[in-house]
């Protein structure tokens, strides 16, 4: 297995370890930094594509696998120092399996690139404190959600983090949600009210299952889908480096962008809207003061646009662009339902199910999701078109 895929798996283990990831720093940043470093290190040797940030003259005889392992290790020990012993052991095991020729050069390249990428991201705004949030009280305003009523929403500061590729957090900012008094709102309201309520009698068992199945950190699912695709297609080290960099740069900027939109529009979540429908001014919505979503607690941030939709659209877009096909048979294992798998025949099919799952989970309106899909696609298209491109393209 490629070192690129192995270190992606390692970082997934780290971010899934409770208490490891600082609550105020989004884990997509770590994936983007690590995979950007791996890409620039490997590409310095391979030389077929344009660098992301670090231009380095390197021998083509240097080991790409050693460069990838060293870059990943250097990034992760800096970001997660409590894992150093485990990471050191993994690096030594990886290097021991590689041929001697070019190994030392590869290690040197990986370390150099990683240190430069880390330095370039050292003042990116991710270490600032979240901005204190004042919940609104008017119809449509985001409010703390039952049953757990978080005191503050999450990542109120994240739109101020420097993007990895976008020109600004607001580059593709969508227009606002529909007006509360219109049919588009009432139709979406009725849909999530019926299908997303805990124990819904309107949702099919499979719909309710999808709501629970995808109720985890969606970027983790898509990294595992990419791992499966990589292994199925037998990608080279350089191909893996580029694929996972494009994917995780897109995810990191997608998160920055959707938090820009979420905290621009500050739109209420379905559980708030359904309980307070008597005050929304729409005669076609009916309140249920005891309504709760299928998944229990709602993610503590505004509803519009939906994160799963943004990330899934971006992930599918990158994978389709990279492999020049949308077709691949693969299975996905739930992050929150151990051992439960679902199977798909294409990247768009998985993206669509992950997106619509948020209605069955009871945490999003349909318009949150359709807007999120457009945002995710726009971001991925921009990054794929403008970053890590072939040197031959401009020849």
Look at residue 366 in the predicted model and tell me its pLDDT.
99
Inform me whether the pLDDT recorded for 330 exceeds 70.
yes
Percentage above 70 pLDDT, the chain: 99
Inform me whether the pLDDT recorded for 301 exceeds 70.
yes
Inform me whether the pLDDT recorded for 394 exceeds 80.
no
CATH of domain 134-395: 1.10.606.20
Residues of the chain with CATH 1.10.606.20: 134-395
Look at residue 90 in the predicted model and tell me its pLDDT.
98
Q: What is the 3-state secondary structure (H, E, C) of the chain?
A: CCHHHHHHHHHHHHHCCCCCCCCCCCCHHHHHHHHHHHHHHHHHHHCCECCCCCCCCCCCCCCHHHHHHHHHHHHHHHHCHHHHHHHHHHHHHHHHCCCCCCHHHHHHHHHHHHHHHHHHCCCCCCCCCCCCCCCCCCCCECCCCCCCCCCCCCCCCHHHCCCCCCCCCCCCCCCCCCCCCCHHHHHHHHHHHHHCECCCCCCCHHHHHHHHHCCCCHHHHHHHHHHHHHHHHCCCHHHHHHHHHHHHHHHHHHHHHHHHHHHHHCECCHHHHHHCHHHCCCCCCCCCCCCCECCCCCCCCCCCCCHHHHHHHHHHHHHHHHHCCCEEEEEEECCCCCCCEEEEEEHHHHHHHHHHHHHHCCCCCHHHHHHHHHHHHHHHHHHHHHCCCEHHHHC
Look at residue 353 in the predicted model and tell me its pLDDT.
99
Model confidence pLDDT, tens digit, residues 216-229: 999 999 999 999 99
Look at residue 4 in the predicted model and tell me its pLDDT.
99
Model confidence pLDDT, tens digit, residues 158-215: 999 999 999 999 999 999 999 999 999 999 999 999 999 999 999 999 999 999 999 9
């Amino acid at each position: 297995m490629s070192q690129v895929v192995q270190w992606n798996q390692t970082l997934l283990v780290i971010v899934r370890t409770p208490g490891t990831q600082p609550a105020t720093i989004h884990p997509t940043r770590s994936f983007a930094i690590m995979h950007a470093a791996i890409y620039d290190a490997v590409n310095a040797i391979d030389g077929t594509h344009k660098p992301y940030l670090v231009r380095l003259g390197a021998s083509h005889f240097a080991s790409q696998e050693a460069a990838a392992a060293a870059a990943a290790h250097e990034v992760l020990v800096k970001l997660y120092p409590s894992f150093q012993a485990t990471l050191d052991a993994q690096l030594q095991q990886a290097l021991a399996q590689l041929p001697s020729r070019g190994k030392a050069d590869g290690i040197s390249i990986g370390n150099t690139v990683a240190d430069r990428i880390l330095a370039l991201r050292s003042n990116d705004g991710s270490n600032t404190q979240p901005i204190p949030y004042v919940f609104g009280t008017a119809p449509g305003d985001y409010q703390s959600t039952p049953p757990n009523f978080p005191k503050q929403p999450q990542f109120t500061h994240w739109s101020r983090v420097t993007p990895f590729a976008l020109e600004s957090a607001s580059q593709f900012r969508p227009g606002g949600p529909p007006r509360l008094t219109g049919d588009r709102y009432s139709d979406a309201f009725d849909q999530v009210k019926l299908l997303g309520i805990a124990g819904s009698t309107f949702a099919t068992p499979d719909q309710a299952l999808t709501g629970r199945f995808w109720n985890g950190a969606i970027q983790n699912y898509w990294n595992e889908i990419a791992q499966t695709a990589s292994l199925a297609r037998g990608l080279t080290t350089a191909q893996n480096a580029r694929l996972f960099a494009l994917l995780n740069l897109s995810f990191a900027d997608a998160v920055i962008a959707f938090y820009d939109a979420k905290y621009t529009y500050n739109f209420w979540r379905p559980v708030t809207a359904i309980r307070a429908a008597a005050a929304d001014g729409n005669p076609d919505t009916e309140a249920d003061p005891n309504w709760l979503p299928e998944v229990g607690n709602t993610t503590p941030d505004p509803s519009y646009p939906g994160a799963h939709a943004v990330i899934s659209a971006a992930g599918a877009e990158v994978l389709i662009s990279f492999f020049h096909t949308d077709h691949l048979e693969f299975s996905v294992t739930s992050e929150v339902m151990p051992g439960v798998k679902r199977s798909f025949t294409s990247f768009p099919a998985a993206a669509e199910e992950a997106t619509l799952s948020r209605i069955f989970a009871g945490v999003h309106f349909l318009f949150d999701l359709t807007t999120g899909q457009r945002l995710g696609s726009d971001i991925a298209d921009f990054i794929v078109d403008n970053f890590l491109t072939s040197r031959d393209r401009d020849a």
